[in-house]
Amino acid sequence: MELHTTQGLLAREDLGLILPHEHVFVDLGPMEEANWRDADPEAVVEVMAPEIERARDAGVTALVEATPEGVGRRVDIDLAVSEATDFPIVVPTGIYQEPSIPEWAREASEDELTEWLVEDLTEGVDDTGVRAAWIKVSTDDDDLTGLSTDEAKILRAAARAGERTGAAIGSHTLHGELVHEQLDVVEEVGYSPERFVWIHAQADDERYHREVAERGAYVEFDWIGGDDQDDGDYVDRVRRLVEAGYTDRVLLSQDRGWYDPSEPDGGEQKPYTHLTETFLLKLREAGVDEATVRRLTRDNPFEAYAR
Ligand SMILES: [Zn+2]
C-alpha cells in the first residue's frame, strides 16, 4: 500500500500523523466569478507555507487537501506549497455538490466522468504530474430527498473509477440517511464500502456513526477545533466508537487552513495545529491509550487514502 502525494508515492513507514481533511486552497466566493482561476501560486505560498511549517513543528507529517472541482481545485498551487515547504500534500480528483457542479460535469456522461477520474488518479492532474490519491464527491446540504441526478451520476462514476484504481471515495454528506443511499449506490457498482469515507459525520447522530461503521465505511470527525465545536463532544463520540469496536473506522481532522482567492490576501487562516496541540491531549486524558491514538491518527488515514 502506498499513498500518492505531491512528493510521489510514500509508504507507511515514511509517514507519521496524517490530517485526512484540510484545505490549502479553496474558493468559497461566487462561482460565476471563478476567482480561483487567476490565483497566483506565489501569493498562496507566501500565506500558506508558514501554516504548513507550524503543522510540521506540531508533529503533522502529511495532510489531505479536500478541495475538488466546483470550489476551486488548483493542484498546481498545492504542488507549489508542497515544494516550498518540502511537505507532502495528498490531492483529490472529483466534484463538489449542488449547486456547485460545473457545467462540463453536468454534460458529461457517466463513462466520460469515469475516464476523467481514472486519468487524474493514474496519470496526473492537468500538467502537474501529481496523481490524485482519492475521489471527492458530495451531496447537497439542504436537500434531504436523496441524491440529485447529477450527484448520483458522479457517484456511480466515482465507484467505477475507484473500483478500477483502488482509490478511496470521500463524500461530504451532512445526513446519515444519504450516506446509506450512497453506500447502496456504490455497492451496486461493486465498490466496497470499506473504501468509502463519510466526511463531516459529526453533522448527524451517533446512531448513523455506528450504522455506517458497521457497514464498513470510515466515519470522519473533521471539524475538530472549529467554531461551536466542543472538544469534549468529539472525545465522547470517538470513545463510544472505540468502545463499540470500530477503532479502525474512525478518522480525525479539522477542516482548517486555507487560502481563499475570493478574500483579500486569501482571508484569515486557521492553523492546522489544534488536533496535535490540544485535542489529542484531551483524548488521552479521557483514557484512550497510546496504541489507539496512533491507530486513529497514523494508520487509519494512511490506510483510508493509500492504495
Ligand atoms: Zn472541507
| pLDDT one-digit tens code per residue, 137-169 | 999 898 888 999 999 999 999 999 999 999 999
What is the Å distance from ligand 1's center to 120 Cα? 20
What is the Å distance from ligand 1's center to 66 Cα? 6
What is the Å distance from ligand 1's center to 122 Cα? 24
Query: What pLDDT score does 142 carry?
Result: 87
Residue 170 has pLDDT above 90, yes or no: yes
Query: What pLDDT score does 60 carry?
Result: 98
What is the Å distance from ligand 1's center to 22 Cα? 6
Residue 81 has pLDDT above 90, yes or no: yes
CA 87/CA 81 separation, integer angstroms:
8
Q: Which residue has the higher pLDDT, 198 or 31?
A: 198
Query: What pLDDT score does 61 carry?
Result: 98
Mean pLDDT of 191-209: 97
The answer to whether the bond into 99 is cis (omega within 30° of 0) is yes
Residue 99 has pLDDT above 90, yes or no: no
Query: What pLDDT score does 87 carry?
Result: 98
What is the Å distance from ligand 1's center to 172 Cα? 8
Query: What pLDDT score does 145 carry?
Result: 86
φ/ψ of 179, rounded to 5, equals: -65, -45
What is the Å distance from ligand 1's center to 134 Cα? 14
Q: What pLDDT band is residue 177 in, cutting at 50, 70 and 90?
A: very high
Query: What pLDDT score does 97 carry?
Result: 81
Query: What pLDDT score does 211 carry?
Result: 98
Mean pLDDT of 15-21: 98
Give the domains, in start order, of the chain with CATH numbers.
3-305 (3.20.20.140)
What is the Å distance from ligand 1's center to 14 Cα? 25
pLDDT in tens, 259-278: 999 999 999 999 999 999 99
Query: What pLDDT score does 307 carry?
Result: 96
What is the Å distance from ligand 1's center to 1 Cα? 25
- Choose among 302, 230, 283, 236: nearest CA to 18: 302
What is the Å distance from ligand 1's center to 229 Cα? 15
Give all strands (DSSP E) within the chain, no chain letters: 3-5, 8-10, 17-22, 60-65, 89-90, 92-94, 134-138, 169-172, 196-199, 218-221, 250-252
Annotated binding site for Zn(2+): 21, 23, 136, 172, 200, 255
Helices 176-188 and 149-165 cross at an angle (nearest 10°) of: 50
Mean pLDDT of 76-83: 98
What is the Å distance from ligand 1's center to 283 Cα? 23
Query: What pLDDT score does 207 carry?
Result: 97
What is the Å distance from ligand 1's center to 239 Cα? 23
Residue 5 has pLDDT above 90, yes or no: yes
CA 29/CA 291 separation, integer angstroms:
42
Query: What pLDDT score does 143 carry?
Result: 80
What is the Å distance from ligand 1's center to 21 Cα? 6
Query: What pLDDT score does 100 carry?
Result: 82
> 487524474: which residue's cell?
120
Query: What pLDDT score does 272 carry?
Result: 98
Mean pLDDT of 281-291: 97
Annotated binding site: 21, 23, 136, 172, 200, 255
Calculate what percentage of the chain has a pLDDT beyond 70: 100
What is the Å distance from ligand 1's center to 223 Cα? 9
Calculate what percentage of the chain has a pLDDT beyond 90: 93
Query: What pLDDT score does 287 carry?
Result: 95
What is the Å distance from ligand 1's center to 76 Cα? 19
